[in-house]
């Protein structure tokens, strides 16, 4: 069964700025690639392939529930989100994430996923163990953009990290 999540993707200018960040080669630290840069709105977990159609239809209703355009604000710099995740905080997506979580609730699997509060971020690196992020220096980076689309994404794990495939997308209010 595919592992699915709903995400928004950063615009090209933010992707270029992310690519320009210093990425020191530290043992036990794996940097994410440009193809992996996204903000997860809701992680659904494993979904039966027969249910992807009904899930897609439910998520397609989300844009109509939004009262205005979605503006995302990233930055002002990457931070340690936990002992093992180095990420760029992203705000402004809370209402969209709540609407997506509500629409996807019947398909969500995994203990505790529904109770985890939304914390908008774009993961830049993952550490194999605690303490490895201490070697990273703060770097200034901020951006603001109108989010044009939300997407349903399939995630596969490969030895080099996660590989994503967009299944469907929905334009958001302008």
Which comes out higher in pLDDT, residue 160 or 54? 54
Does residue 48 register a pLDDT over 90? yes
CB 141 within 8 A of CB 77: yes
**Which pLDDT does position 114 carry in this prediction?**
53
Which comes out higher in pLDDT, residue 162 or 21? 21
**Which pLDDT does position 115 carry in this prediction?**
56
Average pLDDT value for residue range 43-51: 93
CATH number of domain containing 110: 3.90.1140.10
Q: Is 52 left (phi over 0), alpha (psi -120 to 50) or beta?
A: alpha
Range(s) of the domain holding residue 48: 3-171
pTM beyond cutoff 0.75: yes
Q: How far is CA 55 from CA 5, 52, 83, 103, in A?
A: 11, 5, 33, 8
**Which pLDDT does position 112 carry in this prediction?**
46
The SS3 call for residue 121 is strand
CB 55 within 8 A of CB 47: yes
pLDDT digits (tens, 9 = 90+) for 113-158: 555 789 999 999 999 998 889 889 889 999 999 999 999 999 998 8
Q: If you search the block for the tokens 């914390």, which residue do you land on? A: 119
- Mention every residue, 6+ apart, whose C-beta is less than 8 A from residue 6: 40, 41, 42, 44, 59, 100, 104, 150, 151, 152, 153
**Which pLDDT does position 77 carry in this prediction?**
92
Q: How many domains does the chain have?
A: 1
Count of other CB atoms within 10 angstroms of residue 61: 12
Give the single-character DSSP code of 106: G
**Which pLDDT does position 59 carry in this prediction?**
97
pLDDT digits (tens, 9 = 90+) for 65-87: 998 999 999 999 999 999 999 99
């Amino acid at each position: 069964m595919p592992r699915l999540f709903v995400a928004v993707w950063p615009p090209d200018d933010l992707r270029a700025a992310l690519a320009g960040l210093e990425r020191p080669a530290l043992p036990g630290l794996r940097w994410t690639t440009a193809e992996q840069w996204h903000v997860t709105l809701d992680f659904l977990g494993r979904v039966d392939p027969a249910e992807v159609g009904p899930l897609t239809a439910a998520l397609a209703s989300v844009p109509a529930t939004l009262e205005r355009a979605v503006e995302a604000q990233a930055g002002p710099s990457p931070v340690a989100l936990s002992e093992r995740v180095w990420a760029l905080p992203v705000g402004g997506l809370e209402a969209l994430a709540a609407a997506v979580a509500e629409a996807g609730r019947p398909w969500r699997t995994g203990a505790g996923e529904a109770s985890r509060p939304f914390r908008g971020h774009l993961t830049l690196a993952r550490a194999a163990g605690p303490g490895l992020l201490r070697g990273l220096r703060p770097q200034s980076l901020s951006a603001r953009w109108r989010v044009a689309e939300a997407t349903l994404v399939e995630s596969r794990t490969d030895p080099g990290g996660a590989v994503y495939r967009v299944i469907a997308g929905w334009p958001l209010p302008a």
